[in-house]
Amino acid sequence: MTTEYEKVVLDGANIIHDDTGIEKYDDEENRIIQILPDRLETAINHCENLGWPTVACLKRGTYKWAATNPDSPNVGDISIIDRLISEGKVVLISAKKEDIYWIDYALKENAWIVTHDRFNDKKGIQGERSLYRDRDWKEIDSRTLRGHEFVNGKFILPGLPKKQITEQKPNQYVTLDQLNKIVEKIRELEAMVRKMNHSEIKRETSNPTREEKNQTSREIMEAVMDQYLSNGKRVEIGHFHRLIGSAILRLDMSNYPQKWPKGWTKTLGDQLGFEGKFYDALVNNSRRKICIGPKKGKKGTSEVFYC
């Protein structure tokens, strides 16, 4: 029964990158990935208006990608994410944690799961269903809603009902004074944790040490890789190199190569703390296995993909 669920957990990456109706392309007709915080807020508001407490899980690397490129025409208003974090409506997840982390979080919170991902194996790449066979995937599927989309900028989520308010049993009641004290304490603790996390991220992105700079760049790289290579997708090597360079070095994809500085590839390697050939270093430093192979139907062109 739908009334047994307590809240909604959103796949933040699915939503914050959803540019339906406002797509952008570079000169080679490659689609440019955008970061759209306003769409994430719209999705959260939609679920809350139906009565559901809502949390969006977002990789820290995606947040840092946006935070280090605030003036990019492909990045929306980062202050929206900051506010949603401070309100406890966006939870940042470490780059080291896979999708199973927020799936487990949703199960623990007894929540609906909103995502487009089906967690299946694709083209030799193991999905979460294969990697985590101990999970109850029938239960996960029963609470997962996959039909969300943006229509004229409005978030549509078929299948999510209005939350029913259940009557509380008399022996479960606490006094108003007790409740107020509990709520106040929880808010204090949550505010403390959010402030600590927010201060850490701001420090890393505003005046970082070299080590922190490399770590931030690698988290951004992982976010770019997850967005472009997930679900079995493949990207031409040259284009993929530019995508990472654009995100980390704050370069506009639409201005390549005219306004890109000479030596940007070396600068990118320095930012990531990579030595030697970039793609060799990329393969050696990625948390997921990366492969490079020929592109079908295009002789002399290679692609990068998860393998």
Give exposure, 98-114, as e/b (b: 16+ Cβ within 10 Å): ebeebbebbbeeebbbb
Give the pLDDT mean for 257-281. 88
Q: Which residue has the higher pLDDT, 258 or 206?
A: 258
Judged by phi (left if over 0) then psi (alpha if -120 to 50, else beta), residue 3 lies in: alpha
Q: What are 142-151's pLDDT values in tens digits? A: 999 998 999 9
Mean model confidence pLDDT for the chain: 84
| 242 vs 253: CA distance, rounded Å | 7
pTM score:
0.79
Band the pLDDT of 2: cuts 50, 70, 90.
Answer: very low
Q: What percent of the chain stands above pLDDT 90?
A: 40
| 261 vs 272: CA distance, rounded Å | 17
Band the pLDDT of 262: cuts 50, 70, 90.
Answer: very high
Q: Which residue has the higher pLDDT, 126 or 231?
A: 231
Which pLDDT score is estimated for 293? 85
Q: Which residue has the higher pLDDT, 50 or 172?
A: 50
| 257 vs 253: CA distance, rounded Å | 8
Lowest-pLDDT choice from 165-179, 238-252, 261-275, 286-300: 165-179
Q: For residue 276, is pLDDT > 50?
A: yes
Q: What are 58-90's pLDDT values in tens digits? A: 999 999 999 988 889 999 999 999 999 989 999
Alpha helix stretches (DSSP H) within the chain: 12-16, 37-49, 60-67, 78-86, 99-108, 128-131, 137-142, 176-206, 210-229, 237-249, 264-272, 278-285
Which pLDDT score is estimated for 194? 53
Which pLDDT score is estimated for 305? 87
Strand partners, 57: 11, 91
Q: What are 158-207's pLDDT values in tens digits? A: 999 998 875 555 555 656 666 666 666 666 665 555 555 555 555 555 66
Which pLDDT score is estimated for 162? 92
Q: Which residue has the higher pLDDT, 277 or 265?
A: 265
Q: For residue 7, is pLDDT > 60?
A: yes
